[in-house]
Structure 1
Amino acid sequence: MTRSADRRGPYICGIDAAMDVVTGKWKSLILWELDQHGTRRFGVLKRGLPGISEKMLIQQLREMEEDGLVDREVFREVPPRVEYSLTAQGKSLNAALRPLGAWGKERIKRIKARMVTVDSAE
């Protein structure tokens, strides 16, 4: 499966180019899961991402492999074993996303604090 040419630009800025490879809910979560736990087999990776369908995980992993973020290693065994890991580019993208994750954690705290304030006012 090859991706359409429009996914390769033209880009208007660096954020545009970066978001092109992490668009959607699952790619950033796949990056996080592989960063936190290292190399994972498909089934283990799927269990670490509650709510993702097998079809969606396959699609996202293929795109991420094509973008150079994920390495797929096939072991010629019976039954076949496939493992996924982050490439150097995937690791560097994860490092770039860490500040966004920290911002998100602060957002969660603010939301919870507002909920406590609203609950105590009632």
Structure 2
Amino acid sequence: MADCPQDRLVPPGSEPRCPVDVTLATLGGRWTPLVLRELLRRGQAAYSELPGALPALSDKVLSDRLAQLTAAGVVERHRTPGWPPRVHYVLTARGRALEPVMHSMWEWGTAVRDDAP
């Protein structure tokens, strides 16, 4: 892999430029990859469907992770009018492009788990 010399002295708070850093910033935070995994499985999901798939995840963290993925352009938020209002999340092309990354993470994690003593 190529070196990212321009990132050696990146000031705190600035946007990452190294491709690995960009990916980690998008997927950063506990639960973010698992929220993305659920959206990849389903293609789209209502907000109310996600806690069933990730029961240990609090509503606040779920909201934060969905907002993070939306801000990164990975997910689009759609609100259906009516009462109660319904919100569902759909992967963007950028989000669907993360599928091979998530698949590689799955494969690596499976191999490490299965090799554990």
Q: TM-score, normalised by structure 1?
A: 0.80
Confirm or deny: 8 A CA contact 2:37 2:102 kept in the other structure: no
Confirm or deny: 8 A CA contact 1:31 1:94 kept in the other structure: no
- For residues 2-42 of structure 1, the C-alpha deviation after alignment (integer angstroms, 9 at most, x for no partner) is xxx92622x3x211111011012211101110111221111
Number of residue equivalences: 106
Q: Tell me how far apart the structure 2 counterparts of residues 26 and 98 of structure 1 sit (CA, whole Å).
A: 16
Structure 1, unmatched stretches of 5+, are 115-122
Q: 2:44 is aligned with what amino acid? A: T
RMSD: 1.5
Identify the structure with the greater helix proportion. Answer: 1
**2:69: which partner in 1?**
64
- For residues 68-109 of structure 1, the C-alpha deviation after alignment (integer angstroms, 9 at most, x for no partner) is 011110011111111111111011112222112101011111
Q: Tell me how far apart the structure 1 counterparts of residues 112 and 90 of structure 2 sit (CA, whole Å).
A: 29
Q: 2:20 is aligned with what amino acid? A: I
Q: Tell me how far apart the structure 2 counterparts of residues 38 and 85 of structure 1 sit (CA, whole Å).
A: 6
Confirm or deny: 8 A CA contact 1:39 1:84 kept in the other structure: yes
Query: Aligned runs of 1:1-122 on 2, under 5 Å?
Result: 6=13, 8-9=15-16, 11=17, 13-111=18-116, 114=117
Identity %: 29
Larger Rg: 1
Q: 2:111 is aligned with what amino acid? A: E
Confirm or deny: 8 A CA contact 1:7 1:20 kept in the other structure: no
* SS of alignment partner, residue 97 of structure 2: helix
